[in-house]
């Protein structure tokens, strides 16, 4: 295995990433400082030094790609940082000589975005939006069952005219989706026009929306019934959704299963391991070693025998 493939790095406020586009659960946990607020109160130089310390303690390649890592720290601490942005830039610059794509720094906002992506849920109203091919207007493609939008009365096919009095007729679906999100239990005003031209104004309380990472169905191939399971990403709720899919397909007496991972960008490593345990009945699934090459016991080792 190459140095790069074995390297562990820092991400976020600060966190470690794993290879192959997967994140371990510790990867999205903050180090010594337990809250983003606490992190933001630190001086810029303290943040720079903490980033250096994390790499110093955890980086797999103890030669640091032939970089004098101690000298790097001295250089960083000699500098003056007027704000956090300058500190973040210095950290990123210090990491570049490591030449390691798996070691990168994320500022608090980037870390928050990453956490949302891997959580498998968001705070919003529960609709899927696209832009109309002819008019460009954003419209609702799907209303998630049981969501705040469904309870309020929004329908698939509704054109979204404004969100909180902000005109959205020329906005992209992604921009409209951002306007729909906000703090839990906060209100958002949504004005829509039905396909028949009727206008409606809704006041909707935002809630937690669990995103669907798994789709499944049955495909007939000659005399066989194939249970088809498509996994879009490995988020915090993906393994539960896969288990539900397996249970439903077994009740339908399928003869075999197909897992479709095409287009899956990765996600949480623990989620992928839990899914592997559903199919493998023996053998090692994943093993973690420290930078001296010694295997780690406990959570670092996951075997298929753990499957239920």
Which of 37-41, 146-150, 180-184 comes out lowest in average pLDDT? Answer: 37-41
User: What is the rounded distance in angstroms from the CA atom of residue 221 to the CA atom of residue 187?
Assistant: 49
CATH fold of 3-119 reads: Transcription Regulator spoIIAA (3.30.750)
Q: Is 49 exposed, middle or buried (0-12, 13-18, 19+ CB in 10 A)?
A: middle
> CB 51: neighbour CB atoms within 10 A?
23
Sign of the dihedral through C-alpha 162, 163, 167, 172: negative
User: What is the rounded distance in angstroms from the CA atom of residue 93 to the CA atom of residue 85?
Assistant: 12
Only one residue has tokens 């001295």, namely 74
Which of 21-30, 48-57, 98-107, 171-180 comes out lowest in average pLDDT? Answer: 21-30
Q: What's the pLDDT score for residue 15? A: 39
Which of 19-23, 85-89, 124-128 comes out lowest in average pLDDT? Answer: 19-23
Please, are residues 162 and 191 in contact by the beta-carbon 8 Å criterion? Answer: yes
> CB 9: neighbour CB atoms within 10 A?
23
Each domain of the chain, given as residue ranges in start order, spans 3-119, 121-210, 214-306
Task: Write the DSSP assignment of 93-137 as a string of letters.
Answer: HHHGGG--TT-----HHHHHHHHHHHHTEEEE--EEEEE-TTT--
Q: What's the pLDDT score for residue 240? A: 94
Q: What's the pLDDT score for residue 80? A: 95
Q: What average pLDDT score do residues 246-265 get?
A: 94
Whole-model pTM? 0.62
pLDDT band at 283 (very low <50, low <70, confident <90, very high): confident
Alpha-carbon distance values, 30 to 12, 53, 86 (Å): 8, 14, 21
pLDDT above 90 for 261:
yes
In degrees and rounded to multiples of 5, residue 171 shows phi and psi of -85, 155
pLDDT above 90 for 288:
no
Percent of the chain scoring above 70 in pLDDT? 82
Q: Which residues contact 125 (CB under 8 A, 6 or more apart)?
A: 147, 148, 149, 152, 154, 180, 188, 190, 204, 206, 207, 209
121-210 and 3-119 share a CATH fold = no
Identify the CATH homologous superfamily for domain 214-306.
2-enoyl-CoA Hydratase; Chain A, domain 1 (3.90.226.10)
Percent of the chain scoring above 90 in pLDDT? 57
Q: Which residues contact 134 (CB under 8 A, 6 or more apart)?
A: none
User: What is the rounded distance in angstroms from the CA atom of residue 61 to the CA atom of residue 69?
Assistant: 11
Question: Among 3, 2, 114, which residue's Cα sits nearest to residue 59?
Answer: 3
Question: Among 187, 186, 159, which residue's Cα sits nearest to residue 173?
Answer: 159
Q: What's the pLDDT score for residue 93? A: 96
> CB 308: neighbour CB atoms within 10 A?
5
Tell me how long the chain is.
308
Decide yes or no: CATH 2.30.42.10 for domain 121-210: yes
In degrees and rounded to multiples of 5, residue 39 shows phi and psi of -60, -45
Q: What's the pLDDT score for residue 145? A: 84
Helix (H, G, I), strand (E, B) or coil at 237: coil
User: What is the rounded distance in angstroms from the CA atom of residue 273 to the CA atom of residue 267?
Assistant: 11
pLDDT band at 206 (very low <50, low <70, confident <90, very high): very high
pLDDT above 70 for 143:
yes
């Amino acid at each position: 295995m190459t140095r790069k493939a074995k390297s562990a790095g820092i991400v976020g406020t600060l966190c470690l990433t794993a290879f192959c586009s997967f994140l371990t659960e510790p990867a999205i946990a903050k180090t010594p400082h337990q809250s983003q607020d606490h992190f933001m109160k630190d001086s810029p130089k303290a943040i720079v030094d903490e980033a250096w310390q994390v790499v110093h303690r955890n980086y797999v390649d103890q030669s640091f790609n032939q970089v004098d890592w101690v000298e790097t720290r001295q250089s960083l601490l000699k500098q003056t940082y007027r704000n956090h942005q300058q500190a973040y830039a210095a950290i990123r610059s210090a990491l570049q000589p490591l030449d390691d794509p798996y070691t990168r720094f994320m500022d608090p906002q980037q870390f928050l975005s990453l956490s949302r992506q891997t959580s498998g849920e968001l705070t919003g109203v529960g609709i899927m939006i696209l832009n109309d091919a002819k008019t460009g207007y954003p419209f609702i493609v799907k209303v998630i069952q049981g969501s705040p939008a469904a309870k309020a009365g929004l329908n698939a096919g509704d054109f979204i005219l404004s969100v909180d009095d902000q005109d959205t007729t020329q906005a992209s679906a992604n921009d409209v989706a951002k306007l729909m999100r906000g703090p839990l239990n906060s209100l958002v005003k949504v004005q829509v026009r039905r396909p028949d031209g009727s206008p409606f104004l809704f006041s909707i309380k935002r809630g937690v929306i669990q995103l669907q990472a798994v789709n499944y169905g049955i495909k007939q191939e000659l005399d066989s019934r194939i249970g088809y399971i498509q996994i879009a990403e490995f988020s915090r709720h993906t393994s539960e959704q896969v288990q539900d899919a397996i249970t439903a397909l077994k009740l339908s007496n399928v003869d075999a299963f197909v897992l479709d991972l095409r287009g899956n960008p990765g996600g949480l490593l623990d989620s992928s391991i839990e899914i592997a345990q559903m199919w493998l009945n023996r053998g090692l699934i994943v093993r973690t070693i420290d930078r001296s090459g010694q295997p780690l016991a406990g959570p670092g080792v996951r075997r298929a025998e753990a499957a239920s």
